[in-house]
Amino acid sequence: MNVLLKSAKIIDKNSQFNGQTKDVLIERGIIIQIADNIEKKGNIREISYKNLHVSNGWFDSSVSFAEPGYEERETIDNGIDVAAKSGFTAVALNPNTNPKIDHKSAVEFLVNKGNLGIVDLYPIGNLTINAEGKELAELYDMFRTGAIAFGDYNKSLSNANLLKVALLYAQNFDGLVISFPQDNQLAQHGFVNEGVNSTKLGLKSIPSLAEELQIARDLFLLEYTGGKLHIPTISTANSVKLIREAKKKGLNISCSVTPHHLNLNDEFLHDFDPDFKVTPPLRTKTDSKALIKGVIDGTIDMITSDHNPIDIENKKVEMENALYGTIGLESAFGSLCKILPLETLISALTEKPRSVFGVSSSKIAEGNSANLTLFNPESEYIFTSSNIRSSSKNSIFKNQKMKGSVYGIINKNNIVLAQ
């Protein structure tokens, strides 16, 4: 594959060309030349778009493709296409499948599927057998097979001793442990944020304390054991504060946040739309502001779409009975450009998550492999059903204003364009 990117503004703070508009010549998957003007010669595909920007390929640390077991929601093949056309060259796959990803053969299945596509797939193995929170799964065997982290997707671990043992054990191979932040005894059967709006609407609620108490417990365990801990999809102002203080102590802690928790809040629940049923629940405007500040100051390491396709039979029902989750790959960039500085956003989609999850990355420079995302951060539009490429249509961002669109990706000596 030979490609010439014309007049592309490079966004990569580690590159000598950061902030500069250059032509970029790629031959057989390698960046051959970066210059002010490169003349097209021979059999080279020229790519020229309005306001073209290029960065290192984006990495999403929490994606569900539902295969094996729930192919009616999404398949890996279609999920790869969605991710590529949404700007992601790599994704970490959640283990919320059937059967679970709690042994090495299940990891091998995902690794082999991933080798066939343009998007790099990195399996997350279950932390416990069958995600039941009772016994540790085969962590080391899965690690050797290709799992990059271990956690039971959207399931908190009530057994503090089991998390302690996991943190200690994983240190033997520098493994990353993921702990979903929710105390189930406090959450009970709630599904929206506890506050004025839940009271007005008469919906069962989950207090912020359910998240914050679990995070405080996990941080105490991490301080006791050492090791590496990742807390996904935090949603409250106090959660940001707790993690900020833990980082000041020198703990090896990382965390993520979703675009919907940055952009939306519990005031959007007034229509009882089940697409707004997510976990953690949407919190308050104050929480969203604190989360944005946490991304900007580096307390929050990364942003994840938390892409979770749910079929219509399990989503378009009464809100209380609907499954949790929203798709998010297609809407991630457009929703984030509205609220974050561009370099902050790109860092939270590239170098930071790749560093935490141990996924390779390289700066945009001559001689390096081309693992790139092509985009326009200024285009404005309304996100509608026509923008959804996922098999399931449960998007929390339908009919929301967007700023920023994706042109495509280059990876593995191949190119996929969204348009």
For 157-172, the pLDDT digits (tens) are 999 999 999 999 999 9
Go through the domains of the chain in sequence order and give each one's CATH number. 2-53+365-417 (2.30.40.10), 57-357 (3.20.20.140)
Average pLDDT estimate for 34-47: 92
How much is the pLDDT for 1?
A: 83
CA separation (Å) from 410 to 56, 104, 359?
10, 30, 17
pLDDT above 90 covers a percentage of the chain that reads 96
Per-residue pLDDT, averaged over 228-246, amounts to 98
Residue 247, pLDDT score: 98
Would you state the pLDDT for residue 15?
95
What pLDDT sits at residue 199? Answer: 93
Question: Is residue 302 within 8 Å of 346, Cβ to Cβ?
Answer: no
**Tokens linked to 159:** 């057994």
The pLDDT assigned to 183 comes to 97
pLDDT for 419 beyond 80: no
**Nearest partner of 79 among 95, 65, 58, judged by Cα:** 65
pLDDT value at position 41?
A: 85
List, as own/partner pairs, every contact residues 102-107 make where C-beta atoms lie below 8 angstroms and the sequence separation is at least 24, other chains included: 102/126, 102/128, 102/129, 102/130, 102/131, 102/137, 102/138, 102/142, 103/137, 103/138, 103/141, 103/142, 104/138, 104/141, 104/142, 104/144, 104/145, 107/142, 107/145, 107/146, 107/147
- What is the mean pLDDT of the segment spanning 26-52? 94
- What's the CA gap between 329 and 352, in Å, rounded? 18
Catalytic residue among 23, 60, 306, 311: 306
Checking if the pLDDT of 124 tops 90, the result is: yes
pLDDT band at 395 (very low <50, low <70, confident <90, very high): very high
Read off the pLDDT of each residue in 146-166 and give the average, rounded to a whole number: 97
pLDDT tens, position by position, 49-67: 999 999 999 999 999 998 9
Tens-place pLDDT, residues 282-306: 999 999 999 999 999 999 999 999 9
User: What percent of the chain is modeled with pLDDT above 70?
Assistant: 100
Summarize pLDDT for 241-276 with one digit per residue, the tens: 999 999 999 999 999 999 999 999 999 998 899 999
SS3 for the chain is CEEEEEEEEEECCCCCCCCCEEEEEEECCEEEEEECCCCCCCCCEEECCCCCEEEECEEEEEECCCCCCCCCCCCHHHHHHHHHHCCEEEEEECCCCCCCCCCHHHHHHHHHHHCCCCCEEEEEECCEHHHCCCCECCHHHHHHHCCCEECCCCCCCCCHHHHHHHHHHHHHHCCEEECCCCCHHHHCCCCEECCHHHHHHCCCEECHHHHHHHHHHHHHHHHHHCCEEEECCCCCHHHHHHHHHHHHCCCCEEEEECHHHHHCCHHHHHHCCHHHCCCCCCCCHHHHHHHHHHHHCCCCCEECCCECCCCHHHHCCCCCCCCCCEECHHHHHHHHCCCCCHHHHHHHHCHHHHHHHCCCCCCCCCCCECCEEEEEEEEEEEECHHHCCCCCCCECCCCEEEEEEEEEEEECCEEEECC
Mean pLDDT calculated for residue range 112-140: 95
Question: pLDDT band at 42, cuts 50/70/90?
Answer: confident
- Asked about 306 being catalytic, the answer comes back as yes
Do 89 and 96 contact (CB within 8 A), yes or no?
no
The mean pLDDT value of the chain amounts to 96
